[in-house]
């Protein structure tokens, strides 16, 4: 894991310098991925050049644990953060454009957070650093122009199970590592329940697809259900638009 950590730290440092910047702004959620990216960015750029921002919704989604976990992370790694509640913006949006669909409203919240991070980034003249991992990017498990709206993705080449290993290597607080991953879309939402399988199972399947190992013997050896292969392939096909440029006519 140390070699992978060193590679990511070097990548962050080089990418930011090549962009003519010195610092990054980061959406710190209290979850695993953003915690890992924050610490890696601190290693690359130093604490003062990592601007962490916590953007909670407290009216409909109150979660005191996230703030406590962020406090513990920042204290352990000499990081600081600012917090802005998104509730007033969400409520104004709902008054202007009523949205009753749960997922649709969740996407609006993700895009509000992205907009705020870019506003802060413009003010501080820094890049918006992403926290997406390879597992979620491959199946399109993110909001287009929301948490997917970033300048670069330093852990976008790592499966979620690899991010867990790096988190332990970095000594990320156990409270963050052990809690069920969630995008905080609504009360009680977890990533694995929404995806329909554990990250361990998902990563096995994604590796199988990526390495073109879909055959009866391999699936039996790895105890992979072919129905889950089809499920993941369908997710990838459905969400392909999220990882490609908007189409334009030829000629």
Domain of 24, CATH number, reads: 3.40.50.620
pLDDT at 171 over 80: yes
- Whether the CB-CB separation of 7 and 43 falls below 8 Å is answered with no
Percent helix, percent strand, percent coil in the chain, to nearest 5: 55, 5, 35
Domain-located, residue 217: no
What average pLDDT does the segment 201-216 reach?
Answer: 96
- Whether the CB-CB separation of 162 and 189 falls below 8 Å is answered with no
- Regarding pTM above 0.85, the answer is yes
pLDDT at 48 over 90: yes
How many domains does the chain contain in total?
Answer: 1
Domain-located, residue 146: yes
Domain-located, residue 227: no
Q: What are phi and psi of 24, to 5 degrees?
A: -135, 155
Domain-located, residue 102: yes
Where in the sequence is the domain holding 31, given as residue range(s)? 2-191
Give the span between the Cα atoms of 173 and 169, in whole angstroms. 11
**Predicted local confidence at residue 251, as pLDDT:** 80
Beta bridge partners of 171: none
Tokens of 73: 């992370």
Identify the band that residue 65 occupies on the pLDDT scale cut at 50, 70 and 90: confident
């Amino acid at each position: 894991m140390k070699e992978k950590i060193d590679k990511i730290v070097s990548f962050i440092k080089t990418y930011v310098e090549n962009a003519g910047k010195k610092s990054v702004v980061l959406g710190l959620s209290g979850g695993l991925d953003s915690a890992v990216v924050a610490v890696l960015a601190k290693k690359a750029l130093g604490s003062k050049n990592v601007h962490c921002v916590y953007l909670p919704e407290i009216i409909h989604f109150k979660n005191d644990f996230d703030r406590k976990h962020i406090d513990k992370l920042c204290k352990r790694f000499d990081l600081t953060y600012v917090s802005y509640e998104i509730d007033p913006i969400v409520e104004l949006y709902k008054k202007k454009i009523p949205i009753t669909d749960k997922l649709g409203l969740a996407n609006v919240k993700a895009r509000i957070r992205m907009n705020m991070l870019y506003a802060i980034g413009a003010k501080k003249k820094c890049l918006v650093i992403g926290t997406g991992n390879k597992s979620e990017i491959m199946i399109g498990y993110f909001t287009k122009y929301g948490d997917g709206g970033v300048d670069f993705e330093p852990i976008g080449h790592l499966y979620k199970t690899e991010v867990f290993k790096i988190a332990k290597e970095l000594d990320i607080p156990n409270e963050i590592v052990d809690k069920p991953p969630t995008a905080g879309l609504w009360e009680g939402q977890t990533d694995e329940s929404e995806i329909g399988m554990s990250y361990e199972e998902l990563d096995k399947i994604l590796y199988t697809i990526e390495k073109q190992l879909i055959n009866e013997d391999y699936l039996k050896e790895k105890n992979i259900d072919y129905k889950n292969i089809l499920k993941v392939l369908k997710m990838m096909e459905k969400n392909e638009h999220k990882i490609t440029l908007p189409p334009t006519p030829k000629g």
